[in-house]
Structure 1
């Protein structure tokens, strides 16, 4: 009986195996459908829209609390890196929604800054070439700096943070090619053309009590006629835990704007370390009255890793066709050179 039972059991097992093999394997029930390309990346899409809003409506960011508006505008072009990062993330998660949303900040950035990347038109023979440089009062090679600036072949050279004995070195080194100069306080102007009516500018903030002269105005007698040339060095700003400290810079910019507005000569060129970018609302007393560079980025500060252009060339009844940065000197700023087309 035991033997028969064993044989019967074995036969039953074999039959069950044959039935199992002959039957198709059951598949595990699939999970529900995952998110589609149009539902993935909602957070990325929101971030893209917010970036576009900051680019287009940066003036709406209040400046009363910690100077947040000016701080944002000082680095506004760098929002382009945020757009690139969002693009990479959108591609990685295959989010069509985020990719479409990214069209907004891309369009905004291109509208605001894309023109700066376009090539400039060929310069005319009557164009003026100007150089602006904060040479630093700690520059250990003023002679080398002066030769580097002259090597760019400018017609006008504006310098800030001129202190003795470096001032004498600049004067001697630049004299052969730039026989005309005007120095007031710590700012100076060198020119291939005669300079007249040089005088200091009163752009000193009320809170500064010590001797402080960082602005001048002179008339350059160029082949295109008389041009009022302004050289200015506005007060520095500081980024602190409480925000941007820029009240002295802002006040000085207002005084400089008033001086430009009162200028009787129609043609004006402003060269200077303005400690602010042309997008910073604090420089509106100047940017509302003067043309800024149409082409070129020319990041100038800090020299070791430039993040912003705070060294500016602006003009009235003239066009700043292109601006670019020169190689580093002994300063913590990079020099900038611009081509100015006089109307």
Structure 2
């Protein structure tokens, strides 16, 4: 075959490969842009934060495609993979970490019990049986609040309830305060629990619901909570409940700067809602002052939220 004949053949073979590389580059740039825009406060950042964990599935064909087109193009996929991993670093599960268990420290549990579900007593019974010393419930109504109080009266004699949130403790509550966090009505509380290892400042929050075009109430509550935690001088602080925000939502930034989220073990991302097919984690346990915080999700009662149990040690 002459040189003149070989050149057009080579060109025909190279053109599709170049097109594939361009497509990979465009896809990689788009994915990186999406990850970066997820840090922007407001509806856009919130929407991206919700889909960000699932975006990992888009990285799989990108990596495979880059390797198939040409191994040397693998760097194209590496950039969005690194960006995605960094953005989700505090959220990703720790495969080698076991779940929470009995031992020294403080075992806490939290669940949104879904108003009207009639699950209060069943949820309280299940979480108490797991050995938690402190239980926090959100979206309480009159019936579920009374049912939980009756169920836990003997084993958890120290309790404080405000509106739709409540906390029950095996250890004495030496200080308590209702919080509206700028909402205008009480959907949060703060107590000081006298644990064996010393006082722990505990915040229980049921953030305002997130609705399209109306998220300022939620964002304002979370920002105000972050400010309260920043000014809290207690060495050990725990904030738990239904935050109506996923881990990477920019609205949680003021809280995340002060507290670290309890990490989940295994390979699954440990979503909490909806319980029938968990797709997002909007319930959280945050803390500071403890050396280790290991968490897991569990089913309790008939709520549309899974519960979280977290062991805080050290």
TM-score range relative to shorter protein: 0.7 to 0.9
Q: d(CA) in 1 for partners of 2:94 and 2:13?
A: 39
Query: Offset of 1:249 from its aligned partner?
Result: 0.4
Q: Report what 1:108 is aligned to.
A: 83
Q: d(CA) in 2 for partners of 1:310 and 1:109?
A: 19
Q: Report what 2:237 is aligned to.
A: 268
Output the TM-score relative to the length of structure 1: 0.78
Q: Report what 2:69 is aligned to.
A: 95
Q: 1:137 aligns with which of 102, 115, 135?
A: 115
* Contact 2:264/2:270 (<8 A) preserved: no
SS in 1 for 2:192: strand
Higher relative contact order (CA 8 A, sep 6+): 2
Q: Once the two structures are superposed, what CA deviation does each residue of 1:254-312 show, in whole Å capped at 9, x if it has no partner?
A: 22122222324222111111111221111112111112224443211122222221111
Q: d(CA) in 2 for partners of 1:73 and 1:192?
A: 36
Q: 2:54 aligns with which of 59, 63, 78?
A: 78
Output the TM-score relative to the length of structure 2: 0.85
* Contact 2:122/2:300 (<8 A) preserved: no
Q: d(CA) in 1 for partners of 2:255 and 2:28?
A: 32
Residues 157-236 of structure 1 mapped to structure 2, 5 A cutoff: 157-205=135-183, 212-236=185-209
Residues 241-260 of structure 1 mapped to structure 2, 5 A cutoff: 245-260=214-229
Q: Report what 1:316 is aligned to.
A: 288
Query: Offset of 1:158 from its aligned partner?
Result: 0.5
Q: Which residues of structure 2 form unaligned runs of 5+?
A: none
Q: d(CA) in 2 for partners of 1:330 and 1:150?
A: 16
Q: Once the two structures are superposed, what CA deviation does each residue of 1:115-164 show, in whole Å capped at 9, x if it has no partner?
A: 53332279783221111111110213332222222232211110011111
Larger displacement relative to structure 2 (137-146 or 218-227): 137-146
Q: Report what 1:125 is aligned to.
A: 103
Query: Offset of 1:88 from its aligned partner?
Result: 5.2
Root-mean-square deviation (Å): 2.6
Q: Which residues of structure 1 form unaligned runs of 5+?
A: 1-28
Aligned residues: 299
Q: d(CA) in 2 for partners of 1:63 and 1:199?
A: 29
* Contact 1:216/1:230 (<8 A) preserved: yes
Change (3 A) 1:204 1:136: farther
